[in-house]
Amino acid sequence: MSTIDIRAAADPEDFAAVRSLCLAYREDLRAHHPAAPALVSLFYPDPAYTDLLDALPGKHDAVLLATLGGAPVGCAMSQPLPDGSLEIKRVYVAPAARGYGLAQRLMEDLAARARAKGVPLLRLDTMKTLSAARRLYARLGFAERGPYQPVPEAALPHLCFYERPP
């Protein structure tokens, strides 16, 4: 089995790899479901999404990069919310690297970092049709809840929201 490494993105090469993975994530989301292109355009519009990625780490307190055999294959990040909780964002594993438990390891790493900082809650949202992600979040002890910040009304039927202590 190839070596798996998960680390905080730390240099321009790491951030370039995370940017590429986040762009692939957005394209995978667009292709995922007939309702997805409109949601992706709402939450990840050009050029705002590109600007966000170009500014990494930006407002994120953690930006993680997963490699498999040295090749970048996954990412995840978290950002503080005004109430002191952390929002998990852009957990993504490239299709060719799925099945190694990378998404779970990325999530566990973000949770450990949050615990070390004394963060009271982790929060996240995902599309209702992303069943593998929803199974992962349930397996990791995330409970469904309502929106934790303002969300456009048109998006609400397509999203679910989760939280748990770190």
Higher pLDDT, 55 or 2: 55
Other beta carbons within 10 angstroms of residue 134's beta carbon come to 17
Higher pLDDT, 3 or 43: 3
pLDDT class for 27, splitting at 50, 70, 90?
very high
Rounded mean pLDDT of 133-137? 97
Paired sense of beta strands 86-93 and 122-127, if any: parallel
Q: Judge if pTM exceeds 0.75.
A: yes
Of the CA atoms within 13 Å of residue 85, those in its CB half-sphere come to: 15
Of the CA atoms within 13 Å of residue 108, those in its CB half-sphere come to: 10
**Residue 1 pLDDT exceeds 70:** no
Say what the pLDDT of residue 32 is. Answer: 86
pLDDT class for 33, splitting at 50, 70, 90?
confident
pLDDT class for 58, splitting at 50, 70, 90?
very high
Rounded mean pLDDT of 112-122? 97
CA 64, CA 62: separation in Å to the nearest integer? 6
Beta-bridged to residue 77, according to DSSP, are 63, 89
Rounded mean pLDDT of 53-77? 96
Domains of the chain with bracketed CATH: 4-164 (3.40.630.30)
